[in-house]
Amino acid sequence: MKEKIIAILGKTLPKGFNIIVSEYNGFGNDKYLKIAFSPNTKQTNNVRGQYPQLVSLSLCLHNMTLQPQIYGGNGGKCIYREIDPNHPKEKYLAMVSVNVPFRKPKKEEKFVLAAIERFAINYIKTLKENKEKLRYKDIVDYSFLD
């Protein structure tokens, strides 16, 4: 399953993306896959393990449940953009999150793989829609959006 997911993300995402698919143990005997990806960072970012604009999913291998997941404060199903100082609800915030569309699939392999591919496509689409206001422009390589 891990290899299939890596192949799908490698085909769907632009070259140079950080793709992480790793197995971990959950509660009891359940095994999970962490599925995370983000744009590549520029050479100026020397912080190991830091992946700005990272999104992530968790897949339970026991019952094939796929859901957005946050790992240590990173991931989930949102990206971050700059605030609009003229918007009354945003003007006092540091940044605004934008959700990447995600719908839980049926608990079968083909539906799960299709949902992962759709999530990656929606991620790129969300980045493109918010291109002008994206955060971390100094350390993230957004050249694939052009």
Q: Using the predicted structure, report yes or no on whether residue 45 has a pLDDT greater than 80.
A: no
Using one digit for the tens of pLDDT, what is the confidence trace for 50-99? Answer: 788 999 999 999 999 999 998 777 789 999 999 988 999 998 998 889 99
What is the value of pTM for the model shown? Answer: 0.91
Residue-level pLDDT at 42:
74
Burial of residue 112 (CB within 10 Å: 0-12, 13-18, 19+) is buried
Residue-level pLDDT at 71:
79
How does the average pLDDT of the chain come out, rounded? 90
